[in-house]
Amino acid sequence: MKRFYHVVAIPIRIVLNNFGDHNPDGMIYVLKENENHVRERVRKNPFTPVDLVQPLVIRANDGDTVEILFENQLPFATGMHFQEADYNVMDSDGANVGFNENTLVDCGEQICYQIKANHEGTFLFSDLGNPASSDNGSNINGLFGALFVEKRGSSWTDPETGKPFNSGLYADIHHPFLPSFREYAWIFHDEMPTQDLTGNRPINPVTNQDSESTHAINYRFEPLTNRHRLIEEAVVCPDCDGEEVHHDSWVFGDPATPILRGYVGDPAKIRLVHAGGKETHAFHYHVHQWFKDPQNTESEIIDSQAISPQAWYDVEPLYGLGSLQQAFGDGIIHCHLYPHFAAGMWGMNRIFNTLQDGSQCYPNGVPIQPLQPLPDRRKPPKPTEKNPGFPNFIPAKSVEKHQDPHLVLLAGVI
């Protein structure tokens, strides 16, 4: 099968969190059909994260030919270089190397790349026109993405609407002969040049020096220092300790970093990618374990995976979301190098135990977006007054620390 994508490389402001930390000189790949919408959203929200400002993730099936019309709107020659794919280096390499044809394009120009998806997995793509590791390089400023290749015969839908779609970090993958599963993109990258609301480098309030380098996931990071400042200034929960509630959505609201949503027991696959060019990270997934080699059931069972720049792994949690004990709630996912963790390299796996159809709200009043059940699994029960499900079975007020859910369970609330 042949698939077509029109991709544009554009300069864009990347806002990394709700505190206004941002990269004014960001660069991203975006589908042409979304370009104007992205630009307008960013113009109207200069200090707020915009959903479509995300690493571009496109999909194909094993054996497909992917044809990409690439357009450059950056002020230097650039391209799309695909790792692991089959292609003709004379017309689809996305590089200017040796005596090969130059397959970069100047600002305002276009080129057509033809890529053969030769196996299931992740085909990381990035720019080789300006691969410098300095603050002026394209990769460090966000110009990367991924082609996720599924098994032959697969299709994919939007987890919120259940409808087919062209690109996105998260998708539900379906196959006529295999179980459907949740697919999540988890793309580490590091040391993106970052400014705070004042246009200066963020300052660590303890050392009064520049903060630890930006360590991000999917163009988002959530530093401990930002949240701790809200406690110190009595904006939220003045009786709390910063690190104790660093990840608490009752106190701070949800982080800007990825929240991977699903239902208890859902089969899932995290496409773990390191698109950066600087440091090694340690992916740690609370509650869950997986085979080190998903294709080998004799391989070691692990709950952490070291990953170096330009590498990728598939993480397939055993027993589905919530693991063997069928846990529900928020499970932390983070880099286990603590300075990176504290610098903001963390997110969540949010596992629901009741149906989310868009009619409920979180304790702070923010609507819970709908989440379609996987079509081949039993539909979760609807929330009731007696069993409202996570998170609403925990009595709590926003900006305050929530009660211990274990005590709530013992009290017979659910």
Distances (CA, A) of 16 to 26, 104, 172, 222: 11, 29, 26, 8
Q: Number of structural domains, the chain?
A: 1
Taking the C-alpha atoms of residue 231 and residue 244, their distance in angstroms, rounded to an integer, is: 11
Beta strands at 110-116 and 65-72: parallel, antiparallel or unpaired: antiparallel
Contact 226, 19 (CB under 8 A): yes
Is 6 among the domain residues?
yes
Is 164 among the domain residues?
yes
Is 26 among the domain residues?
yes
Taking the C-alpha atoms of residue 268 and residue 158, their distance in angstroms, rounded to an integer, is: 15
Is 91 among the domain residues?
yes
- What's this model's pTM, rounded to 2 decimal places? 0.95
What is the edge-to-edge ordering of all strands in the sheet holding 22-31?
A: 22-31, 2-15, 65-72, 110-116
Is 195 among the domain residues?
no
Q: What is the pLDDT of residues 290-323, one digit of tens each?
A: 999 999 999 999 999 999 999 999 999 999 999 9
Is 85 among the domain residues?
yes
What residues of the chain score a pLDDT lower than 70? Answer: 205-206, 208, 212, 242, 396-399, 402-414
Q: How many Cβ atoms sit within 10 Å of the Cβ of residue 111?
A: 18
Which amino acid is it at 176?
A: P
Q: How many Cβ atoms sit within 10 Å of the Cβ of residue 89?
A: 13
How close are the terminal C-alpha atoms of the chain, in Å?
49
Taking the C-alpha atoms of residue 219 and residue 217, their distance in angstroms, rounded to an integer, is: 5
Is 141 among the domain residues?
yes
Is 414 among the domain residues?
no
- Per-residue pLDDT, 409: 53
CATH number, position 170: 2.60.40.420
Dihedral sign computed on CA atoms, order 125, 127, 131, 136 = negative
Taking the C-alpha atoms of residue 221 and residue 227, their distance in angstroms, rounded to an integer, is: 12
Give the range of the structural domain holding residue 179, as residue numbers without chain letter: 2-190
Provide φ and ψ at 360, rounded to 5°.
-100, 165
Name the β-bridge partners of 61.
150
Taking the C-alpha atoms of residue 334 and residue 338, their distance in angstroms, rounded to an integer, is: 9
Closest by CA position to 240, among listed 369, 402, 82:
402
- Per-residue pLDDT, 414: 47
